[in-house]
A and B are shown apart, each in its own frame.
Chain A
Amino acid sequence: MSAALLKHWQRAMDWRWLLPVLLAGGLVVAFAIPHFRLLNNYVQLVLICVGINIILATSLNLVNGYMGEFSLAHAGFMAVGAYSSALLSMKVLPVVTHPALFHLAVLAGGLVTALLGLLVALPSFKVRGDYLAIITLAFLMIVKSALENIDAVGGPRGISGIPRLTTLPWVFCWTAALVWLIRNFVYSSYGRGVLAIREDEIASDLMSVDTRRVKILAFMLSAFCAGIAGALFAHLLQFISPRVFDIVKTTEILIMVYLGGIASIGGSILGATLYTVLLELLRPSTVAALLSWLPAVVFNPLNEYFIRHLGMLRMIIMPLALVMVMLYWPRGILGMREFRGFIPLGDRWPPPAVRPRGADVA
């Protein structure tokens, strides 16, 4: 019975227009929600955060999951993107007059961060594993302390008053675009090189893979995306400071990646969504609102002894839940497996039943 279901699912996934339709539909929904006020502002905010976190998780997965490194620098990349785009949009580009320039600022933030990614890639030529973890950690701390000491960018007080230009449809577009770029990269010769490096770097070198170039490309792409996420983040919260981009932030992104599944784009989307939504759902106010239909005799003691303390309870339960997940799924929920719809047609297994005319490569 379930084998037949699986077959139907696969045939549905193999529909050539699946992804374009999903994306178009998503764009329409993302545009309609704020325009017709279909959901309240809080929920929209959560959705935007989900989008930003998807970008962060997918880009970190490229380096930590697909390439098998352990980079702790991601919050640092985010910081650089946030700061550079904020400075551009506030001091250089007249974004308030031309909102399209906002995207220019975001893109510029990403490009600046990509250059930094190049810098971080260099030590990775000679060291791997724990030593690279330390180097990326030190890099993160240096970025944070440097920002704290440069008064021109506000020092420890940070930058405030950033124009709020991040909206749901734009985040949807950026998220879709960046995830698409990462997916394309993974299913290319360079992406296979990334996998080869994870499996056996010495053998990769001997099998003609230019490991240096591949590492540079992977780190730059990863940093580029993190920078854009940071830029979107800055123009959402309208205030950024060095304290936001610390090891705790990196840890959050790490959790999203490893929870959802390493070396899986679908996994990162899942992990980012789960993490963001669950953390929001478990707020006292949200839970109270969701359970408000209960009769008072049940609700009141529940509220007194449990819901009110959710704020701190969730931060205790969440890491415990993470540990549980790791014990059962050491590679994450979708670890090293992929949502069939993301895989190019030629790479799918079993291959699609109906071949589109001509090429079997998407």
Chain B
Amino acid sequence: MTSASVYWLQQILNALQLGSIYALIALGYSLVYGILTMINFAHGDVFMVGGFLCFLAATLLGLPFVPTLLLTMTATAGLGVIIERMAYKPLRNAPRVSAIITALGVGLFLENLTLAFYPYPQHVPPLLLNVTWRLGGLALSSLQLIVISLSLTLMLVLDYVVRRTMVGLAMRAISWDKTYVPLMGVPVNLIISITFAIGAGLAGAAGTMYSLAYPVIDPYMGIMVGWKAFIAAVVGGIGTIRGAMIGAYILGGVEIIVVALLPSTYRDLVVFSLLLALIVIRPHGILGAPRAQKV
């Protein structure tokens, strides 16, 4: 293998890793938007809390990887449900912008709460043994492979849940019509809570893996990562699961390519310009479909 192709294969792996993490977060946005047509602006901060919970579990409780991951996912899932019940549910019939502002408020609250405990960035101890295999010039890191495969597994599980289980069917039904579905015996509130739990749990997993892959975390990391993942979900087609994944991997790929080719300060500029262009060309996203309006 030539050194150029090795370099690019390396970048592909980096992109897959980054894209996987974005995908787990983007899925949370898509699930919530699909079911409630609401942008959960606090979602990026739930991801950040996940990262910090991982940090806590590793340093305070000294847990190894798998228990940390499970604990974090459970805790963030619970956080998602609490946020939904306390801040979003009462506003379900209010103008949509009120729910959005409330979400922003919740996000600010999470950021500043974390900031109160950890005013400085923290370093997360390595929980995963990071073995590097060399394959003809290509450096394969076990951490990277675990992140990618774990993320893909979670996404496959989610896909299965949404398409093959009753819960998933109920989620899809509610996303199409909220008025008559309850009359058919679907426990709407429960399904909505489950949706938030799943989305937040995935964000928690993303937070764990992010903090292991890029081990320095700070309370504001949810902002940039969260907003980028959100734009990725929109580019892919918000409300669709496949769309969120596609958008996230496109985002990961673009970011890695830009950093590889241009000075790193250009990263955000190029990424956002490209995403903007994609949205302007296709506002409903790659896999999204516009909802027709009867006149």
> Which residues of A lie under 8 Å from residue B95 when comparing CB positions?
330-331
B94 within 8 A of A: yes
| Complex contact B106–A323 (CB within 8 A) | yes
B268 within 8 A of A: yes
Q: State the Cβ distance, B63 to closest chain A Cβ, in Å.
A: 28
- A262, B275: Cα distance in complex, Å: 30
Which stretch (B159-167, B191-199, B277-285) binds chain A?
A: B277-285
> Which residues of B lie under 8 Å from residue A126 when comparing CB positions?
283
Which stretch (A158-166, A184-192, A233-241, A311-319) binds chain B?
A: A311-319
Q: State the Cβ distance, B34 to closest chain A Cβ, in Å.
A: 12
| Complex contact B276–A248 (CB within 8 A) | no
| Complex contact B105–A320 (CB within 8 A) | yes
Q: Chain A's interface: helix, strand, loop or mixed, by majority?
A: helix
**Smallest CB gap from A312: residue in B:** B116
Interface string of B218-256 (1 = CB under 8 A from A): 000001000100110010001000000000000000000
| Complex contact A134–B87 (CB within 8 A) | no
B179 within 8 A of A: no
**Smallest CB gap from A321: residue in B:** B105
| Complex contact B272–A312 (CB within 8 A) | no
> Which residues of B lie under 8 Å from residue A262 when comparing CB positions?
97
Q: Given that A138-B279, A251-B104, A319-B106 are contacting pairs, would A326 and B91 also be in contact in the complex, using a CB cutoff of 8 Å?
A: yes
Mark out the residues of chain A between 292 and 317 whose CB falls within 8 Å of any chain B CB in the assembled complex. Answer: 312-313, 315-316
> Which residues of A lie under 8 Å from residue B284 when comparing CB positions?
131
Q: State the Cβ distance, B67 to closest chain A Cβ, in Å.
A: 29
Q: Given that A70-B100, A258-B98, A319-B108 are contacting pairs, would A133 and B39 also be in contact in the complex, using a CB cutoff of 8 Å?
A: yes
Q: Given that A135-B279, A255-B101 are contacting pairs, would A141 and B112 also be in contact in the complex, using a CB cutoff of 8 Å?
A: no
> Which residues of B lie under 8 Å from residue A139 when comparing CB positions?
276
B109 within 8 A of A: yes
A254 within 8 A of B: yes
B98, B231, B268 — most chain A CB neighbours (10 Å):
B98
> Which residues of B lie under 8 Å from residue A138 when comparing CB positions?
231, 272-273, 275-276, 279
A247 within 8 A of B: yes
> Which residues of A lie under 8 Å from residue B91 when comparing CB positions?
326-327, 330
> Which residues of A lie under 8 Å from residue B231 when comparing CB positions?
134, 137-138
Q: State the Cβ distance, B102 to closest chain A Cβ, in Å.
A: 5
| Complex contact A131–B105 (CB within 8 A) | no
Partner of A323, one of B102, B276, B279: B102
Interface string of A241-253 (1 = CB under 8 A from B): 0000001100100
**Smallest CB gap from B223: residue in A:** A247
> Which residues of B lie under 8 Å from residue A323 when comparing CB positions?
87, 102, 105-106, 109
| Complex contact A202–B295 (CB within 8 A) | yes
Q: State the Cβ distance, B61 to closest chain A Cβ, in Å.
A: 25
Partner of B104, one of A149, A255, A312: A255
Partner of A141, one of B100, B108, B268, B280: B268
Q: Given that A138-B231, A149-B266 are contacting pairs, would A330 and B109 also be in contact in the complex, using a CB cutoff of 8 Å?
A: no
Q: State the Cβ distance, A82 to closest chain B Cβ, in Å.
A: 19
Q: State the Cβ distance, A57 to closest chain B Cβ, in Å.
A: 13
Q: Given that A141-B272, A326-B105 are contacting pairs, would A123 and B112 also be in contact in the complex, using a CB cutoff of 8 Å?
A: no
| Complex contact A254–B104 (CB within 8 A) | yes
Q: Given that A255-B105, A262-B97 are contacting pairs, would A315 and B269 also be in contact in the complex, using a CB cutoff of 8 Å?
A: no
Q: Given that A123-B280, A134-B279, A138-B275 are contacting pairs, would A316 and B113 also be in contact in the complex, using a CB cutoff of 8 Å?
A: yes
| Complex contact A330–B279 (CB within 8 A) | no
B185 within 8 A of A: no
A39 within 8 A of B: no
Q: State the Cβ distance, A119 to closest chain B Cβ, in Å.
A: 11
A145 within 8 A of B: yes
Q: What are 29 residue pairs bridging A and B, where the CB atoms are less than 8 Å apart in the complex?
A: A127-B283, A130-B33, A130-B238, A131-B279, A131-B283, A135-B279, A135-B280, A138-B231, A141-B272, A144-B268, A145-B269, A148-B265, A251-B104, A258-B98, A315-B112, A315-B115, A319-B105, A319-B109, A320-B109, A322-B104, A322-B105, A322-B108, A323-B105, A326-B94, A327-B102, A330-B91, A330-B98, A331-B95, A331-B98
> With A323-B102, A323-B106 given, can you name 4 additional A-B contacts, CB distance below 8 Å?
A134-B230, A138-B275, A141-B227, A330-B98
Please give me the 4 A-B residue pairs with the lowest Cβ-Cβ distance, nearest first: A145-B269, A330-B94, A330-B98, A315-B112
- B residues engaging A (CB < 8 A)? 33, 39, 87, 90-91, 94-95, 97-98, 100-102, 104-109, 112-113, 115-116, 223, 227, 230-231, 234, 238, 265-266, 268-269, 272-273, 275-276, 279-280, 283-284, 293, 295
